[in-house]
Amino acid sequence: MARRRTLFRMLAIQRVLVKYGLDDIIKETHLLRPLRFLFYLAPRRRDKSAPIGERIRLALEELGPIFVKFGQAISTRRDLLPPDIADELAKLQDAVPPFPAEQAIEIINNAYGESVDTVFARFDTEPLAAASIAQVHTAQLKAGTEVIVKVLRPGVLEQIERDLAVLRMIAGLADRYWEHGKRLRPLEVVDEYEHTILDELDLMREAANTAQLKRNFQGSDMLYVPDIYWDYCRPEVMVQERIFGTQISDMETLREAGTNIQLLAENGVELFFTQVFRHNFFHADMHPGNIFVLHNDPAKPKYAAVDFGIVGTLSPEDQRYLAENFLAFFDRDYHRIAKLHIDSGWVPPGTRVDQLEAAVRTVCEPIFNKPLSEISFAQLLMRLFRVAQRFDVEIQPQMILLHKTLFNIEGLGRMLYPELDLWKTAHPVLRRWMDEQVGGRAMLKDVRDNLPQLRDALRELPAILNHVGEQVAEGRIRFNLQSPELKEIHRQLEEQRRQRYWLTAAATSVVTGSLLMVLGPAPWAGWVLLGIGALAAYAARP
């Protein structure tokens, strides 16, 4: 049954592609290719003379949330797309068609168990914004606070689960038949994405993420995170403080206000690296629709972020690995980069360090000392991908969110201030973090963090030793070590003890015998002791 639904969904995807005149995708990907002719007979086929950007946007909207999110992700990369397509995909960030307000009110009423009119002093039925997962309405609490009310789209879970089944089937085919499938690990990539997208459907989780990020940046001059009103939050409804700022994509308004654009761009890079390395909790959906600018003081503009449904974390090992790679990259230490890849197990252990070092140097060296506007990260990533193919580098699924966020950050930086020196801005943040991880302050912090456990262990140690001593004295604890290596060590220790015993006896006999022979009244006794010493020395032989 599930396989049949998946097949029907693939047919539906083909129908939408043909409808919007995008059937070249079917030809290139071999997606149920022989069946594409069936859809040419379908009515309401869109005129191919319409702009291709518009057709792609409409197709993604019709295909649903997962495809819309793909369009959102690439819409920030204007360096990768023609301007007309980038402009159309940018509309996916906050201009997805809304669902009827009556449905939103019904969802809210069911969530609270009472009418929306009794919960809020005012509820605006016209949506403020609509996205692929949810839409937002403005409202006012009884206390007079202006808020936004986020409501999940009806039926979104079923739609996402259906599309995930399609992705999983395609990934399974790639894993089985594609020559690069094992290295790129498509099934694990889909699993990672499934975990992320399903978490986004629980608005209580998003509210918790928002609260955590607000704590992380409490008192910050660079980022403001809105308040959450927990009494009004449910899994399908979330209420938070309304942000009154300028959307970051509205460059005309920011310039007219005299906003310090360069500082804004530099702060964006620092915020990213601070979230990833200092807090290990980063906003992983940083497209322009989710970022606002508060420019009450234009000389010191401040970011305001919303929509924390997707956040990312890294293990301490991945954090350290990434930081060392970044720093080695900034320092042009390509040998270190190659060594880190081998030590991490991301490349086969037999890989030659010098060959990998030369390949990385060839890709990275040309981009240094250039502003963002002169660096083609698209070409850089493609060349790095070819290096990865050559050396069988395994894709790490846990890094996908970070890569996506880096793409978003670069897109924002290119839009704000193309002359931004990305490396100069990021290097001090990373260096400071590494010093905190391995320096004296890090050691003191580890000791301080573990003091309670150390204190408890020391407090209990005398009682434990006393108890063990009593058990040994009473013969209730026996040590039975059968290891051949331990037996050999025991034999050697016994042999050394025996040798020391006889050598001590021999030395004592010789010295005493010599004194008796020279000074004593009975020289014969000295000869006896010398003989005993000789026998003892003979017995001490190994």
Complete DSSP assignment for 179-221? TTHHHH-HHHHHHHHHHHHHHTT-HHHHHHHHHHHHHHTTT-S
pLDDT of residue 225: 96
For tokens 């996908």, what's the residue?
400
- Please tell me the pTM assigned to this model: 0.67
Q: How far is CA 326 from CA 194, 205, 368, in A?
A: 28, 31, 13
CA 439 to CA 455: how far, in whole Å? Answer: 24
Residue 451 has which token pair?
């003091």
Sequence-ordered list of residues with C-beta below 8 angstroms from that of 39, at least 6 positions apart, any chain: 14, 15, 18, 19, 23
Q: Which residues are identified as catalytic?
A: 285
Residue 171 has which token pair?
């990934």
Residue 355 has which token pair?
């060959």
| Helix pair angle (422-438, 261-273), 10° resolution | 30
pLDDT of residue 431: 79
pLDDT of residue 399: 64
* Kind of pairing between the strands at 223-224 and 302-305: parallel
- In tens digits, the chain (542 residues) has pLDDT values of 556 666 677 777 777 777 787 765 555 444 555 455 555 545 455 556 778 888 888 888 888 777 777 777 666 656 556 778 878 887 776 667 889 999 999 999 999 999 999 999 999 999 998 887 899 999 999 999 999 999 999 988 888 888 888 777 777 777 776 666 666 677 777 777 787 778 888 999 999 999 999 999 999 999 999 999 999 999 999 999 999 999 998 889 999 999 999 899 888 888 888 888 888 898 888 778 789 999 889 999 999 999 898 888 888 877 887 788 778 877 888 888 888 877 777 777 778 888 888 888 887 787 766 665 666 554 565 566 667 667 776 666 556 667 667 777 777 777 788 777 766 777 787 778 777 776 555 555 655 566 566 566 666 667 766 666 666 666 666 655 555 655 666 666 666 666 655 555 555 555 555 555 555 555 555 555 545 555 555 455 55
Sequence-ordered list of residues with C-beta below 8 angstroms from that of 124, at least 6 positions apart, any chain: 137, 138, 139
Assign residue 312 a region (left: φ > 0; alpha: ψ between -120 and 50; beta: otherwise).
beta
Q: Report whether 387 contacts 363 (CB < 8 A).
A: yes
CA 404 to CA 317: how far, in whole Å? Answer: 20
